[in-house]
Amino acid sequence: MTDILKHFEHPFPYGEFSHNLFDDTEFTLRFELGGEDVSTDRPLKRFIQAYDRAAAVATEVFSDTACLWMLSSVYGDAEPRKKRLKPFKLCGLKKNNFQYLGAVSQKGNPDFDEDDDEVFRHWDAAELEDLGQLREVMWLALGCELGIRPASFADIYFVDFKKGIVLYAYDDRGMDVSAVRKEDLMSLYKNRNSWLLEYGFDEMKTVFEG
């Protein structure tokens, strides 16, 4: 498999970030964002809660991060789509702010039909100015499923490569925060315990309290 993280010095034991950090990594917290008590019939209310929670967690986990990166991935043909980075311009990130990390073939991925043409996952990365810019990008990540605009349909990961921490808000429903070292998530586990997803809570409790 193509190692898209080879461009960075990091302690992650894998070559790219998965869609399911909670199941695929050892030390991960999964947060409930929109919540079952806020219906999608109230998309603005649901988005506001999801955004506020995600921004609060991101601010806490990256409070002392010296160098914060945003990685974006999209699926497509062998060549990446030219306009894939256009939504990020609204956040002050121009095309020349990004570096293209490469493409990962999805052959063997059960989510794709083997009879179809080969699909690739294309990765781009940009260093963020600060947490304020992270919050701008977070808007793009959370709004697409609810019809909130502007939005991006890319998978967006926020990363502290030095510490080995990655945050992935997959949509308005939830968000994973994963770390190479358990101690880097302990305060977050205690401070935001009530926001952790009920499904999987016992597993998180075993990992972080056991």
Q: Consecutive 10-residue runs of the chain (210 residues): their mean pLDDT?
A: 91 96 97 90 95 97 97 96 96 97 89 80 98 97 92 97 97 96 98 96 96
- Residue ranges of E strands in the chain: 27-32, 69-76, 98-105, 120-127, 155-160, 165-169, 174-179
Given this model, what pLDDT does residue 113 score?
Answer: 72
Q: What is the pLDDT of residue 191?
A: 97
pTM: 0.96
3-state helix, strand, coil in the chain (%, to 5): 35, 25, 40
Task: Report in angstroms the alpha-carbon separations of 121 from 16, 29, 79, 84, 125.
Answer: 10, 25, 10, 12, 13
For the beta sheet containing 98-105, the strands, ordered from the edge strand earlier in sequence to the opposite edge, are: 27-32, 174-179, 165-169, 155-160, 69-76, 120-127, 98-105
pLDDT of residue 1: 62
Rounded distance between C-alpha atoms, residue 31 and residue 147, angstroms: 21
